[in-house]
Amino acid sequence: MKKSTPTFVVGVGGSAGGLVAYKTLLDALPPDTGMAFVIISHMTPSASSQLAQILARHTKMAVVVASTAMPIRANHVYVIPPDADLSVEGYRFKIISPRSKRNVQIDIFLTSLAKAMGVRAVGIILSGFDGDGAEGCRQIKAYGGITFAQDASAEVEEMPLSAQASGCVDFVLPPEEIPRKLQKLADRLIRLSANSP
């Protein structure tokens, strides 16, 4: 496997209260996990997103706004642009703007991630209103990937609870504990890949 190819591509979805959770997650992540992280945050179409700059203060990984055909590399953090649907084809992003409708961007991304990455897809649902992300978790599980939801530490519990109610969440943890579990899962995947014929 090429060094720039991520072990996992991790879709991180959040809405209201999500910013605190993103920062906490990134603060706990080492800069050399071998994974790629994609932040799918609900924002108004007219927003001039400063999210990438804000998150860059919480990690040594490169943090960039995703763009069409941009390759997905290990040890990078990508942020969805405002007023767009973001999806994955191969190890590259595809963007459709304007977005199809509001508050479905996490499901759209995670569904495409599941189909593109299979067992290398990870979905994390953090604080937020509504149920975006639950269907994406179903898709990730259907394709053999792994899912997380934030525990009661979520400022707004609707999105994590909706994901859990789908029956398709593997781990319920506070954001600061997710990186340790992710690393164990990545190490296991690498071992399995090394031992397979």
From the candidates 15, 112, 153, 162, which is the catalytic residue? 15
Cβ count within 10 A of residue 30: 12
From the list 100, 145, 131, the residue with the least C-alpha distance to 13 is 131
Residue found by looking up tokens 């992710």 in the block: 182
Sheet containing 171-173, strands listed edge to edge, beginning at the edge strand earlier in sequence = 62-65, 76-79, 36-41, 9-14, 121-125, 146-150, 171-173
Residue 85 known to be catalytic: no
Q: Which of 41, 42, 87, 112 is catalytic?
A: 42
Angle between helix 134-142 and 105-117 (nearest 10):
10
42 is catalytic: yes
Strands 9-14 and 62-65: unpaired
Give ∠ CA 81-33-144 in degrees, rounded to 5.
Answer: 75
Is there a contact between 179 and 28 (Cβ–Cβ < 8 Å)?
yes
| Catalytic, out of 41, 112, 127, 132 | 132
Return the closest-CA partner of residue 12 out of 185, 187, 175: 175
**In the annotation, is 132 catalytic?**
yes
- Which residues are designated catalytic? 15, 42, 132
